[in-house]
Structure 1
Amino acid sequence: MTKLKRMVVYLVGFNILIAGISFLVTSTYGQSAWDGVYLAVSNIALLSVGMATFISAASILAVCYILTKDWHVFLSFVTSVVQSLLIDFYLFLVKTLIPSDSIPTRLFLFTTGIILMAIGISIYIQAKYPTNHVDCLMLSISKRFKLNLRKSKLIGDSSAILITLIIANRIPIGTFIVLVSLSPLVQFISDRISKPISNFINRTNYSRY
């Protein structure tokens, strides 16, 4: 039962994360730092966003291994492959269901996307299953340099913005809003849901007779 609950927590959080990414990308006002890298690679290499994500994942996980010297980081590749396959589907779904041809709609997508990403990350890391490549980088930086999640994510995202700037020569202003808001949100939500989720996963149900 515990394994089943962990899987439920993981899947719920992961799907919320992918939905958040899709909301941000569809808004066109900006996205998370690493999604900006994938979009830049996608545009230059004429690949889908999912394929660009897949290619980037291997490089990021290599960095995680360099930081931690732990081969277990490559378990995150499984999650990254699933994310790569799903992102194109979610993008299609969001663009189909929520036409983004007005400013209010785009603002809604942008704001909601940030919140969904923070909730998704905060939930699925509680399951302690392999993270995706970006969150693996965040946790690897945290472990290597003894930093909290907020500071670790800020370092990783700042690196991604620099890479995007080199590739695309421009950064949407909304990306900086995501950069400064997502990390505190992840830390804030994680601090408050870790205990309830842990209780949910480890609680034993007793039958009454």
Structure 2
Amino acid sequence: MNMRKVVKLIVFIFGICIFTFGVSITLKSDIGSGSWDGINFGLNKTVGMSVGFWINVNSFIILLITALINKEIPKFISFITAFIIGSFMDFWLYVLGSFTVNDIVIRYGVFFLGVLITCFGIGIYLLPKFPPNPIDYLMVSIKEKYNLKIIQAKIGIDIFCLLGAFIVGGPIGVGTILSTLLVGPGVNLFYDLFSGVYNKLAIRKI
């Protein structure tokens, strides 16, 4: 493996490590999680097994649904990304353990810190353009299949995930709405901010 690929892999893993830490922090704020995360956390609470396990199971289902939409063989390479994300989620939830915050002001502070870290991490992990998380792959497929704008496809998936999270008892609340509004713009901000630095690293001859 040449150094260019090493740099891409390091940036990819680092980004996932950071953004899963951010998601774990937002969960600990106890004011709501993202819609997709709500399903995985809800299943963890009501059925059992780890959050990472449910990320893997639901990602596999999403890959099958996406393959049906695109009428193609499932791109199981995207499952590798989901597996890494699930593994880091379980790790951070284990590290944070029983950490809780009672003061409402501090809880919102923790939440916004978690969202900021999440946006930073996602913006970084997208830079190498490795296979996307299956839920992101589904969003792009729906956009192209039905000639929608990316925001329309995202809203449709968010509504579906919110319903699923509600059914399985996921942590839905004010934070869910805030995450929906803030994460997209935040990811774009960090992606644009660091893309120049990343491109210099990726093309640099070492």
Q: TM-score, normalised by structure 2?
A: 0.85
* Aligned position for 1:178: 179
Q: Percent identity?
A: 26
Give the total of aligned pairs: 204
The runs of 5 or more residues in structure 1 that have no matched partner are none
> Equivalents in 2 of 1:116, 1:184: separation in Å?
13
1:140 matched to 2:117? The reply is no
Matched AA of 1:37: I
CA gap 1:202/1:145 in 2 versus in 1, 3 angstroms: farther
* Aligned position for 1:119: 120
1:195 matched to 2:196? The reply is yes
> Equivalents in 2 of 1:141, 1:153: separation in Å?
9
State the Cα distance separating 1:45 from its structure 2 match: 1.1
- Of 2, 5, 8, the residue aligned with 1:6 is 8
> Equivalents in 2 of 1:175, 1:27: separation in Å?
12
> Equivalents in 1 of 2:29, 2:155: separation in Å?
22
Structure with greater helix share of residues: 1
Q: Which structure exhibits the higher relative contact order, with contacts defined as CA atoms closer than 8 Å and separated by 6 or more residues?
A: 2
Q: TM-score, normalised by structure 1?
A: 0.84
Q: 146-155 vs 157-166, which deviates more?
A: 146-155
* Aligned position for 2:35: 33
Cα-Cα RMSD? 2.5
CA gap 1:120/1:202 in 2 versus in 1, 3 angstroms: same
- What does 1:1-209 align with in structure 2 at a 5 Å threshold? 1-71=3-73, 73-95=75-97, 99-145=100-146, 149-168=150-169, 171-205=172-206
> Equivalents in 2 of 1:29, 1:170: separation in Å?
8
Kindly indicate whether the alpha-carbon contact (under 8 Å) linking 2:40 and 2:170 is maintained by their aligned counterparts in 1: no
> Equivalents in 1 of 2:84, 2:13: separation in Å?
11
Other structure's SS at 2:132 match: coil
The runs of 5 or more residues in structure 2 that have no matched partner are none
CA gap 1:104/1:186 in 2 versus in 1, 3 angstroms: same
State the Cα distance separating 1:150 from its structure 2 match: 4.5
